[in-house]
Amino acid sequence: MQSNLSSDVIVEILMRLPVKSICRFKCVCKLWCLLISDPTFIKRHLNLAIIDKDIEHQRQKLILHSSSTPSLYHVECDAMTSNDVMAVKLHFPLIRSSFDKVKFIGSFNGLLCISLEPERLFLFNPAIRELKVKRIPNLYIDINRSLDDRVSRPPIYGFGYDHSFDDYNVVKIMYESIVYVYSLKTDTWRRAQRFSYRRFNSDSGVPLNGAVHWVFARGKDSPLVSMPRLIVAFDFAEGKFRELPRPYDDAENVTAVGVLGGCLCWLGEQQDFWVMKEYGVKESWTEVVIGVPFLNLRPLSFLKNDEALLVINEGLIVYNPREDTHREIVIHGINGRGKLEIETYVESLVSPNVWNWELKEISD
């Protein structure tokens, strides 16, 4: 195929296109196919969404799962200008006997890590419809613990990206003390630093800055309810846990952290939450008061016009911080009325193929 455009101009144009369009252009000619599949182009396409907020908003999606259906759905975040949005079914082969156990562990760079308990993990890129499956080996069995104890305290997971090694990692905390980390690049599990904290729930960790974050308590002997809440991060590069400064010490009602606009959030149970504007700096914590009472809150992302997309009391709302107003979002098109799992992702060309997992390309 002949073109009057230079290769540099073609790259600049392709970088700004949606993933779906780029995948179609692989069929234009062999040269374009090689270009679009090149790791350098894939990284440039991804980085453009990181530095250009308009492009990030265009590529931003929600992925949803209902406990009453074996399907996954996605919603365009750009559609949130309306209070009624339509979910579109994704091609994702869940097992019908286990779909009520699906759990989103996290997303990063367009890849979603999904747990189908108890023994399988999925790495899924919805934009390019590639899926990889990993069976979790029985890494460690404590024969001194009863079966009831093992079942009642399910493992805690976290998924994130290690910038220093260009690797995606899964961390698994089991039996309140044992920690394993899975490297997607080397396809191996390794034992990590012993876990010396106590947890409040089985929520997955929140990825940010090469680490995964939770709210834990320190110590083993005191009643959990009386222990101070701590922000604990597992650093993938160092393979260690570390503590981050909290905005204040009296935090009995705080059991979770989140991420909004690339900033760590400290979440409570009232009408406010805190945002760490500069990662790791205690003085950068800023209080955000919203005019919506809540028992639980989870920030998802910023939309256009600086509106915030939040999950409040299991409902989806768009909050306008400048006017202190909010509106509820009603999602149509999902069968059943089960509890919704919601995760955000930004469409990318990042493929799980680079790791030695079982590959499944999802066809129509």
For residue 171, what is the domain's CATH number? 2.120.10.80
For residue 284, give both structure tokens.
């950068």
% of the chain at pLDDT higher than 70: 85
**DSSP H or E run through 13:** helix 7-15
Q: What is the pLDDT of residue 162?
A: 94
Angle at 270 between CA 266 and CA 275, to 5 degrees: 25
73 and 134 both lie in a single domain: yes
120 and 158 both lie in a single domain: yes
Q: What is the pLDDT of residue 2?
A: 52
Instruction: Give the span between the Cα atoms of 38 and 112, in whole angstroms.
Output: 21
| 4: pLDDT strictly greater than 90 | no
Q: What is the pLDDT of residue 362?
A: 42
Of 34-38, 184-188, 225-229, 306-310, which range is least confident?
225-229
pLDDT, mean of residues 83-112: 80
Domain of 27 in residue numbering reads as 7-37
| 219: pLDDT strictly greater than 70 | no
What mean pLDDT, rounded, does the chain reach? 83
Q: What is the pLDDT of residue 60?
A: 92
Q: What is the pLDDT of residue 185?
A: 86
364 belongs to a structural domain: no
92 and 22 both lie in a single domain: no
145 belongs to a structural domain: no
> Phi and psi (nearest 5°) for 300?
-110, -55
13 and 54 both lie in a single domain: no
| 138: pLDDT strictly greater than 70 | no
Q: What is the pLDDT of residue 112?
A: 93
Instruction: Give the span between the Cα atoms of 214 and 51, in whole angstroms.
Output: 27
| 345: pLDDT strictly greater than 80 | yes
Q: Are strands 102-108 and 88-90 parallel, antiparallel or unpaired?
A: unpaired
Of 184-188, 271-275, 333-337, 358-362, which range is least confident?
358-362
68 and 203 both lie in a single domain: yes
pLDDT, mean of residues 320-334: 89
Which residue in 198, 186, 191, 150 sits closest to 172, CA to CA? 191
196 belongs to a structural domain: yes
What pLDDT band is residue 282 in, cutting at 50, 70 and 90? very high
232 belongs to a structural domain: yes
228 and 99 both lie in a single domain: yes
Which residue in 254, 154, 139, 157 sits closest to 212, CA to CA? 157
pLDDT, mean of residues 217-233: 75
pLDDT, mean of residues 185-201: 85
54 and 101 both lie in a single domain: yes
166 and 29 both lie in a single domain: no
Highest mean pLDDT among 134-148, 194-208, 229-243, 294-308: 229-243
| 364: pLDDT strictly greater than 70 | no
185 and 309 both lie in a single domain: yes
* Count of domains for the chain: 2
Query: Burial letters for 131-166: b for 16+ Cβ neighbours within 10 Å, e otherwise?
Result: bbbbebeeeeeeeeeeeeeeeeeebbbbbbbbeeee
| 148: pLDDT strictly greater than 70 | no
Contact 355, 344 (CB under 8 A): no
111 and 28 both lie in a single domain: no
Contact 153, 175 (CB under 8 A): yes
165 and 228 both lie in a single domain: yes
59 belongs to a structural domain: yes
Q: Give 238 or 132, the one with higher predicted confidence.
A: 238
pLDDT, mean of residues 3-10: 75
Q: What is the pLDDT of residue 360?
A: 40
237 belongs to a structural domain: yes
351 belongs to a structural domain: no
> What's the whole-model pTM score?
0.86
Q: What is the pLDDT of residue 359?
A: 37
31 and 156 both lie in a single domain: no
| 49: pLDDT strictly greater than 60 | yes
pLDDT, mean of residues 28-33: 82
108 belongs to a structural domain: yes
Q: What is the pLDDT of residue 198?
A: 84
Q: What is the pLDDT of residue 147?
A: 47
